[in-house]
Each structure stands twice: as structure tokens, then as C-alpha cells.
Structure 1
Amino acid sequence: MRQQSWKVFVVEDDEWYRKLLVHTLSLNPDYEVSTYENGSSLLADLKKRPDLITLDFRLPDYSGAELFDKIKAFDPNIEIVMISEQQDVETAVSLLKKGAYDYLTKSEDIRDRLIHVLNKLGKNKELIQRVETLQEEVERKYDFQSSIIGQSAGIKKVFRMIEKAVTTNLTVMITGETGTGKEVVAKAIHYNSPLRNKAFVPVNMSAIPRELIESELFGHEKGSFTGATSQRIGKFEQAHGGTLFLDEIGEMEISLQAKLLRALQEKEITRVGGTQVVKVNCRVIVATHRNLLEEMKNGNFREDLYYRLFGLPIELPPLRDRDKDVVILAKHFAETFAKENHQSHKSFSQETLQKLMNYRYPGNIRELKSIIELAMVMADGDEITADDITFAQRDVVSDVLSEELTMKEYQLKIIKLYLKQYDDNIKLVADKLDIGQSTIYRLLKEESLS
């Protein structure tokens, strides 16, 4: 939305043209117009900080070029439209290169041309204001003191580490169980750092098929493989100048780790099927639920890549170790849900809070959020009771054990439970259940064929 009033200064020593310009500008009620006959009077009034100046190129005390430099030196954000009696291409090009918004000649159609320029400038200003407003909203959203909720000792330590991360360009390694908020922390670092106006590009390594990871990270050229019908820019190029967030980096196949290491060390990539070297420069934040030091010792993670990524470590504590943060988070999720769904505020009984505190939360913050949102729907009055709190894992397990099933059917039900809890991450579920991924695929396939 256009600001209510633009301050427009008209600098013109010809009285007839000055009146013409003022009349043209005054047709728009959003413009607050002031006039000046010479450069000295304009310079004395620059402290009023106009949004736009129409500047005659030839004035009795200054040349347009001299005055242009003085205005831009005072405030480079003031837009200037140069107006001259004759078209001087060389001068026009010079001033446009220096930052003039436009260069107009005093011709019969100057009114129409000026209105066109101002309309275009207005649209640009509106767009800039919208972008600035959105940026302010994003920064408020990811202010880590408000986006990361809690007062426990573990979370206070996380705050201290984030404060260090936003003031440096070190690679950050975020560790923690699934659901502890690793991406929230990564966004908080990015949007509170000097890179906040640049791209934040997240990549979940566990969600990308092995054969597509290289193309996803580095891009590909047209025809480089079946289905590559056009050139594609990879995540590294998308994040150039900003932040690349590699989530679940521990899931990356060791055969691809060498290419990632080279990209990080050389700050350059080559698209799949291409030969051109592309320079990339972005901050890298990685996250994993795995112990990469153990993975490295077991031969699943390259030692050189581990030490290249280690940088500044931030360990997120599981929710079960965060004391009364469970209560703080529960109240926060309830208030947010009520606001987003236009519901009335609901409080928690003491019995409910105790029930929430006693639970272990294998799904961490993500699980607590789901539990509270369901409770907000189930609660009939203005208070959430203990009966409104449903721990899905307990209920499903009880349901499974209450049925007479074959061992294979029990296995399948448990696998489905874990897949739902861990967002269909088969590799993670295999680790949690200590079984092979092939077993999971086999049971799911057999069920689909039965």
C-alpha cells in the first residue's frame, strides 16, 4: 500500500515550467509538493528528506550534475528525476549510471511522461515497502528468543551458542533427536545474521532418493540423464550469498561425501552432465540426529568431511531433559492454536500439567505440539483436562497388543507406527528398531500384494 504522503521537491527556475510541474504533481493527493528556484534553497531544505526531487539540469547557481552529487551524498535513497531543455544523450546516460531514476526533456508531452514515471516509481516504492514489511515479519518470527521457547538450562545454553553463531560465518553443526527443532534453530541463525536478506535454502538429505542427491545439490544440464529435459539449478547455486541448510547430513551416502567436501573447500560446483565450473559462496549449516563421530569411526562418514563441517556445535536437548519447558511449550502451543483457529483461550488443570510432565516424548517438541492441538479440539470447556491428553504411541501399542495377530502382522503394525512417528524416514526407523531397511521394504511390499 502506498504511503499516505510523498514529499516531492520541484527544483525549477523557469516560473512557467515550475507551475506546470506543480499542477501535474498536485493532481495526485498523495504528493506533498514543495518548490525551489535554485540549488541553494533546495540544499538548505534537504533535512526535510524528500522522497523524490524533479531537478532542472540548468540552474542559476548550480549545474544539475553538481546538485545531483550533493543530494545523493546527503541521502542516496532520495529519487531524482532530471529535467532538461534539450536531449543530451551522453549526460543522460552518465546521470542514469550514477543513480538518477529518469531523465526527461522539456517537450510537449512532458506531463504525460512525468505521470508515467511517477506511476512506475510508485509501484516500485510499494513493492519495496511490502518486501521490507515481509522481511520485518520474518525477522520477528525467527527472533530466537521468541521462536525457541523455554527457560531450562539446556535451552539457555542453546541461546548462548546461537548468539555466537550469528556473529560469525563458521559452519554450524546442529545435533539432536528427531523433533527437537533443528530447522527452527537453523532459521533463527540465518534470519538474525548479516545474511538475513539473502536466501535460506533447506535440503532434507533423508528425503531425497540416493540417485538424485547429486542433481539436487549441484544441479544438472539438459540431457544429462533420462528425464533431464532442461537445465536445473542446484541448491548450492540457489543459496549463493545466503545460507544452505543440510538437514540429516548423516544420511548422505559416503560415495557422495567427497563431492560435497570439494564443493565446501573449493567453493565451486559442476552441474551433473556439465563441464562449466560455477563459483558458489554460501554459509553452511548442517543438522543430524546421528552421532557423526561414531559414524566416522564405523566408516560411514568421511573423517575429512566431519572436521570440515564441525565448526560451531549446537546440541539440542531432548524434551524429556528440559524440566518445566514442557509446561511452557504446552501453553504456547495452546495459545497459538486458539489464535489461528479463532478459539477461546483454554487453561490446563494441575492434573493435566502433571500428566504432560511425566511423559517421555519420543517425538520431542513435534509430538508435544500434536498432543496439545488434539487436546484443544477434544476439550469441551475452557479447561484442558487429563482425559483430553492422548499419547498416541501408548494407545496404538495397547491396541496392537489387544488383538490376536501373527508375528508378521505385529511386526508390520509396529513398523507402521514408527514410520508415522518419524515422517516415513525408513533409514531412521530401521535404526530405531535395529532391523534392516530391506526387512521394512519386504514387509510393506508383502502387505501390498496380499
Structure 2
Amino acid sequence: MPTILVVDDEASIRRTLREILEYEDFGVEEAVDGEEALVALRENAYDLVILDVKMPKMDGMEVLETIADEGYEVPVLMISGHGTIETAVESTKLGAFDFIEKPPDLNRLLVTVRNALDHGELEVENRRMRQTITEQNTGDLPPIIGESDEIQAIKDTIERVAPTEARVLVSGENGTGKELVAKWLHHKSGRADEPMVEVNCAAIPSELIESELFGHEKGAFTGATEQRIGKFEQAHEGTLFLDEIGDMSLSAQAKVLRVLEEHEIERVGGEHTISVDVRVVAATNKDLMEEIEEGRFREDLYHRIGVILIDVPPLRDRREDIPPLTRHIAERVAQRDGLPPKDFAEEAIQRLQRYDWRGNVRELHNVIERLLILVEGDVIEGDDIDQFVQPGGNGDGPTQELIEAYNDFSDARDQFEKHFIQHKLHEHDWNVSQTAETIGIQRSHLYNKLNKFGLERGD
């Protein structure tokens, strides 16, 4: 359910807007002036802001300008009882999505709110796609680190398979790096200049998967206020990465199988087929043969996607990869977060090698980031591993060290929030919907937090 921040100094206007929006199943929060609105925006994430122009202390135009300056990527709908063309034009130049006069027409208000929310979702989706494409085209793709025979075999397979059009199924436990393997397959392919589009099959409700994959036409169903291009079309001439395909519903599997056979899709509500040229790479943490036996996965789809099979072993089965992984992750995290670099004493490395790392490389990454932030000095010693990593490799850093590491309340809060969200996402294998439900916030709020902290799957 999207959450909207209503900012107006008139209680009657706030009450009217709340009643209208809550009747349409929107969540609503209120602010009585511009200063209170900015406090709310700095502490919470919203899907839309409805902002009055004329207010005491700080008017709406000042708030709108601050929103732009501080980089809040949220659509803003301006309202005013003293609206002029000049004000509307100025607010649009400052980034407002639209301008509505008071008292607002009910139908126009709701249509504009829905359009603004759709626009905001599209902007988030476009940013993710641009980020993915930029990473691929700039060569900033993390290398596959490891000295074990298993990792070397995976690298050799990528070199041989990537230039072909063969479909690949990557299997392995959560956190082993299946997505990174998929990205390297695309990066070394003849499709590297085209987009790689990712779909987390476990995160999409079964009733929405068809629209997500194949798109829909405007008016195809309730809420389809504009045409949507599906993931298959977005990946045309590129690569489509179907992550956690073992969680896809049987009905969606049947539709995907048909596309792989006919190389055509039809948008929901559409009347024409559209040809697509897509290479599919899939990944799963499940035993698909067992899923087939249990009737939860189609055998014909398995044979379509599993031309080449790549299994990524868990970290506990290749402990010799932990030293180079540790040093590589430490270097990247320090560069990314502007932290001073730290060396790992040999005893610290040896202690890291003793853990089973049930969260695999993903968990190791989190532990190293924790060590870089909380350990004082230039060298991480064996005792630091004992202090900041619980036996078994699943420890949380002590609260006291986090308290002592930061003097500024905002910085400490942001670090705790970032680590809390990372931890919960990893618990749910980056299923954003499940994570949002578990921690009690809206999915759109969680997406905003991911953007704020620069969190990506694989962190």
C-alpha cells in the first residue's frame, strides 16, 4: 500500500485529503508545515508528497527546492488555493509532478495521484536498469574471486559458454554468488552492449508475474493506468536473468516455456504478438529435480533452461577461497564507503576459515564490512574476529561498539538501519516483499531505503 505525506497548515484540508486517500486504500501521514515535512522526509520514505504552496515558517516552494537539493526521489504534487500559472510553471521547473488548485476536484485528484505514483515506480525501475547497464558497460563488474578448483572450473565454463547462445542454469545455496556468475555470462557474451534485465521470481506475486514478464496494455485490468513494457521486451537482444526460478508458479512456468519455444510474447490485454530475442540465464537455490518429482516444477521447462548447468559450491566447501575473498571485499568496501583500509593478520584469516558461513560469500561480506567499521587500528587481529563474529559465522556486532563508533546521532541511526535492512534481506534471500512485511514497512519504503543506502543484491 503506497504511503502519501500530506503537508498543509489547514487542518480541514488535511482531514479531507486523508479521508479521500484512505478510502482509496492509500496510507496517509500528515505534516502541518514545511519544517515538519522535511523532518518527516528525512526520517521516513514516502511514495508521494502532496504539498501546499502557502504555509507559515517555510512555504511549499522552499520545501520543494529543498527536496530537490537533498536528493529525495519522491514525486511531489503541489496544491494551492491561490494558484497562478506562474506558480504552476515555477513548481514544475523545481521538479513537481503536477499542480492542483484547491478545493481539488475529486476525480482529477485521484487520477493525478495514481499517475504520480506510477511515474515514481517507473523512475525507480529505470534507475535500476541504468545502474545495471552502467555497471556492465563500464567494466565495474566485481571479479569472481577464488583459487579453488571449483571456482576455476566455473571461470573456465563461463569463458567457453558465454560467447554462445546456450541457456544456462546456475544453482547453489543462497549467498554463493549465482547472480555474479550470470552477470559474467552476459558481460562476456555478444550481447554485452545490450541490457541484462533481472527478475527475482520469488519476489513477484503469482497474480502479477505475467504482467511483470510480458507487460500489459493500458486498461488491461483494474489499476493498469498506462502501458507497461515487460521484462522480456526490456531484455530484447540482451539477457534475461530469472533469479530463483524454482519459486515461479506452475502457470507462469507454462507461459515462460511458450516464449522460449516461440520467441514471441503477448502483453496482457494485447491483441498482437511481439517477437523477442532474449538469452535466458536462470538461477535457483532449490534441487529442481526434486521439485519436478514433487510436481512443483515443469520438467520440459527444466530441459529448456538447463542446457548448461553451473553449480556454485558453498563457501565451507572451498575454504581456501576465504583469504583472497576477504582481502578483495575489504578493499572494495573501503573504497565504496570511504573507510580507511585495514590489513588482516594471518591469525584473523585463519579464524575466518574456521567458520561454516551458512550465508556464504554474502555473510562474509557483511562481517568484513562490520570489522572495517568497528575495529580500531590499521590491522584486524584474531581477537577482533572473536569479538565481532559469533561462533558459526552468524554474529551481530555488539551494540556497545556501534554506540561508541559514532558521535553523531544521524550517522549512528543510518548505520544501524542499513545493517538491520541488510540482515533482514539476507534472511529472506532478498525477497523485498517478504522482508518489508516481516519488518513492518511498506515495500515502496524499503525500495527507497535500498536507494538511500546504495544497497544491492550481492552486497
State TM-score, norm by structure 2.
0.57
For the 8 Å contact 1:139–1:191, the answer to whether it is kept is: no
**Aligned-partner SS, 2:232:** helix
- Count of residue pairs brought into register by the alignment: 284
Q: Identity, % of aligned pairs?
A: 46
Q: Distance in 2 between matches of 1:360 and 1:209?
A: 33
Establish whether residue 140 from structure 1 lines up as the match of residue 139 from structure 2: yes
For the 8 Å contact 2:197–2:234, the answer to whether it is kept is: yes
Of 312, 317, 321, which aligns to 1:316?
312
**Aligned-partner SS, 1:285:** strand
Of 250, 254, 257, which aligns to 1:258?
254
Task: Note closer, same or farther for the CA distance 1:235–1:444 as it changes in structure 2 (3 Å cut).
Answer: closer
For the 8 Å contact 1:375–1:384, the answer to whether it is kept is: yes
Aligned match of 1:72: none
Q: How does 1:50-449 map to 2 (within 5 A)?
A: 138=137, 140-142=139-141, 147-389=143-385, 390-391=388-389, 394-395=394-395, 421-423=427-429, 425=431
Task: Note closer, same or farther for the CA distance 1:423–1:310 as it changes in structure 2 (3 Å cut).
Answer: closer
Aligned alpha-carbon RMSD (Å): 3.2
CA positional deviation for 1:253 = 0.6
Q: Distance in 2 between matches of 1:139 and 1:237?
A: 23
For the 8 Å contact 1:139–1:192, the answer to whether it is kept is: no
CA positional deviation for 1:324 = 1.6
Q: Distance in 1 between matches of 2:169 and 2:145?
A: 20
CA positional deviation for 1:379 = 1.6
**Aligned-partner SS, 2:198:** strand
Q: Distance in 2 between matches of 1:263 and 1:149?
A: 35
CA positional deviation for 1:270 = 0.8
Task: Note closer, same or farther for the CA distance 1:151–1:300 as it changes in structure 2 (3 Å cut).
Answer: same
For the 8 Å contact 1:378–1:388, the answer to whether it is kept is: no
Q: Distance in 1 between matches of 2:325 and 2:191?
A: 29
Opposite residue 317 of structure 2, the aligned amino acid is D
Q: Distance in 1 between matches of 2:185 and 2:324?
A: 22
Aligned match of 1:74: none
Task: Mark the runs of 5 or more structure 1 residues left unpaired by the alignment.
Answer: 1-130, 400-415, 430-440, 446-450
Q: How does 1:31-50 map to 2 (within 5 A)?
A: none
For the 8 Å contact 2:162–2:188, the answer to whether it is kept is: yes
CA positional deviation for 1:165 = 1.5
Q: Distance in 2 between matches of 1:398 and 1:421?
A: 19
**Aligned-partner SS, 1:324:** helix
Opposite residue 313 of structure 2, the aligned amino acid is P
Q: Distance in 2 between matches of 1:420 and 1:159?
A: 25
Q: Distance in 1 between matches of 2:295 and 2:339?
A: 52
State TM-score, norm by structure 1.
0.58
Opposite residue 177 of structure 1, the aligned amino acid is E
Aligned match of 1:93: none
Opposite residue 185 of structure 1, the aligned amino acid is V
CA positional deviation for 1:421 = 2.4
Opposite residue 389 of structure 2, the aligned amino acid is F
Higher alpha-carbon Rg: 1
Opposite residue 427 of structure 2, the aligned amino acid is Q
Q: Distance in 2 between matches of 1:357 and 1:224?
A: 54
Task: Mark the runs of 5 or more structure 2 residues left unpaired by the alignment.
Answer: 1-129, 400-421, 442-459
